Amino acid sequence: MFDLASIEKFEHIATPFYYYDMELLGRTVDMLSCLSARYGIDVHYAVKANVEKRILEMIAGRGIGADCVSGNEVLRALECGFPADRIVFAGVGKSDREIHDALAAGIGAFNCESLHEIYVVNAMAGAYGLRARVAVRINPNIDAHTHKYVTTGLFENKFGIARHEFEALVELLGRCRNIDFTGLHFHIGSQITEVSEVFSLEARRAGEIVSWFEDKGLHVADVDFGGGLGVDYEDPDGNPMAHFEAWFKAIVENYHRRDGQRLHLEPGRSVVAQCGTLISRVLFVKRGETKNFLILDAGMNDLVRPALYGAYHKIENLSSRFRKGFSEMQAYDVVGPVCESSDVWGQGRLLPMSVRGDLMAIRSAGAYGQVMASRYNLRDFAPAVFSDDFDGAPRYADYFGTEMPDALQHLRPAARIPGTDPESAGRI
């Protein structure tokens, strides 16, 4: 993914930062647009995966809609060019203010997740003399075979309306005079890699549930199958795009679409994960009793997934590509600077012998990385740098007035220069 010219540019940028490959993002979004047209399925990007303005503008510019889970995401989508009628608003806990703002904007649909929410949306729409388009999120009780923290479609999860409430739901919809019922919404989890098996089951289960509501006299104009398509965290270069076509096929081959019925998908992670990389620098190399540590300047505040989920991200030493005759491999625990024992990028990772100042790439970080960052330990946010525009990147010289103070030149990782003796670079 990274050519030597890009890595040389990284040398002058203050770390840590998020690097986005806009060419890969463009190819990914174009693939989705093509499949959307071929299979007749509307696509809504799940905004929560990444809210960078340039990324949202590119996606909106390809005619893809937006799936939002907060009022601020709705406003962000509007600001970045998503048409209001192509925005859907999900989430189990929409506040009165969020509902009001979405009603005023005229969004495409509220994906309501409880009977109480439907009641409130109806009342608020009536109070303001508006009508609300409402789809109902159904909990289909499907095991997505993924991490328990990102499973959303089981009866024990907080999301959606379960079967025991179906009769009450039909009765409530019949009493609501300020909403237009549009259809049913499903979402069973995230990072689903058993694509055909899991999504085929979802499509068949959705068909059964749609038939039940049709038998009760409801017209189901829209069926939204949600998102959740997984990506390859172990081999991002070998699989830079998710299995989008297998996903689309699983839906159309296992769901009987009614005449005029609109189908929807909501990819998020699979759109942006592989185009994003967290670039960091080795601060120190530390030898412990039984293991060696690489201490980076990026921490769990920049990318929380490994600390939160135990998630795996591939780690690469970019600087080692410039070195000749220094290919010895070493097992490292790669850790961050945050004052928490869970601030660990990976344990026992086999990497080229690494030195202070080496540039490290934490891959597949475009989804749920920058968007989940915090200022824990009062650390700065890592900025975004785009492959087609390095001009706005924060440079090392911006902090020190020079590329490197003369008094610190001896600490530079000279081993990045071909032919340099690694011992002189401070190897431990």
> Read out DSSP for 39-78?
HTEEEEEEGGG---HHHHHHHHHTT-EEEESSHHHHHHHH
d(CA 104, CA 120): 15
Confidence label for 141 from pLDDT (cuts 50, 70 and 90): confident
Who wins on pLDDT, 417 or 212? 212
Other CB atoms within 10 Å distance of the CB of residue 353 = 21
Whether the per-residue pLDDT at 14 is higher than 80: the answer is yes
Confirm or deny that 368 is annotated as ligand binding: yes
User: Does the annotation place 305 within a ligand binding site?
Assistant: yes
Query: Backbone dihedral region of 23: left (phi > 0), alpha (psi from -120 to 50 degrees) or beta?
Result: alpha
Mean pLDDT across the chain, nearest whole number? 90
- Kindly state the average pLDDT of the residues 311-340: 91
Q: What pLDDT is attached to residue 189?
A: 87
Q: What is the pTM of this model?
A: 0.91
Give residue 151's pLDDT. Answer: 45
User: Is pLDDT of 114 > 90?
Assistant: yes
Share of the chain above pLDDT 70, in %: 89
Count of CB atoms within 10 A of residue 339's CB? 9
Residue 39 among known ligand-binding residues: no
User: At residue 34, does pLDDT exceed 90?
Assistant: yes
Does residue 153 contact residue 160 with C-beta atoms inside 8 Å? Answer: yes
DSSP state of 151: B
Pick the closest to residue 90 from 100, 80, 102 (CA basis): 102
235: phi then psi, degrees, rounded to nearest 5: -135, 70
pLDDT at 416: 43
How far is CA 393 from each of CA 300, 318, 386, rounded to the nearest angstrom?
Answer: 22, 18, 8
Q: Are the C-beta atoms of residues 269 and 231 closer than 8 Å to each other?
A: yes
**Higher local confidence (pLDDT), 425 or 194:** 194
Tell whether 328 is in a known binding site: no
Number of Cβ within a 10 Å radius of residue 122:
21
- Return the pLDDT at 80: 98
Lowest mean pLDDT among 186-195, 300-309, 370-379: 186-195
The per-residue pLDDT for 308 is 93
396 is known to lie in a ligand binding site: no
Please tell me whether residue 371 adopts helix, strand or coil conformation. Answer: helix
- Inform me whether the pLDDT recorded for 6 exceeds 60: yes
Average of pLDDT values for 24-30?
98
pLDDT at 74: 98
What is the b/e burial string over 287-313, where b = at least 16 CB atoms within 10 angstroms of the residue's CB? eeeeebbbbbbbbbbbbbbbbeeebeb
Stretch 367-382: mean pLDDT, rounded? Answer: 97
pLDDT band for 372, please (50, 70, 90 cuts).
Answer: very high
Q: What is the pLDDT of residue 327?
A: 65
Tell me: is residue 309 an annotated ligand-binding position.
yes
Give residue 425's pLDDT. Answer: 43
Residue 15 CA to its chain's centroid (Å) = 22
Name which of 69-83, 166-180, 208-222, 412-426 the model is least confident about. Answer: 412-426
The pLDDT, as a whole number, for residue 411 is 53
Query: What is the reported pLDDT for 417?
Result: 40
pLDDT of the residue at 216: 96
- Which DSSP helix (H) or strand (E) runs through 209? helix 195-215
pLDDT in tens, 271-281: 999 999 999 99
Cα 356 to Cα 12, 13, 78, 314, 424: the distances in Å are 15, 16, 44, 20, 11
Please report the pLDDT score of residue 395 as a whole number: 87
DSSP secondary structure of 291-302: -EEEEES--TTT
Structure tokens at 169: 């739901």
Inter-CA distances, 116 with 69, 71, 145, 317, Å: 17, 18, 30, 52
Identified catalytic residue from 34, 68, 275, 339 = 339
Checking if the pLDDT of 153 tops 60, the result is no
pLDDT band at 156 (very low <50, low <70, confident <90, very high): low
Is cis: bond before 240, omega within 30 of 0?
no
Q: Is 288 annotated as a binding residue?
A: no
Q: Which residue has the higher pLDDT, 334 or 322?
A: 334
pLDDT band at 399 (very low <50, low <70, confident <90, very high): confident
User: Quick check: 209 pLDDT over 80?
Assistant: yes
Is residue 217 marked as binding?
A: no
Residue 26 annotated in ligand binding: no
- Catalytic annotation on 339? yes
Please tell me the distance from the alpha carbon of residue 80 to that of residue 58, in angstroms, as a whole number.
9
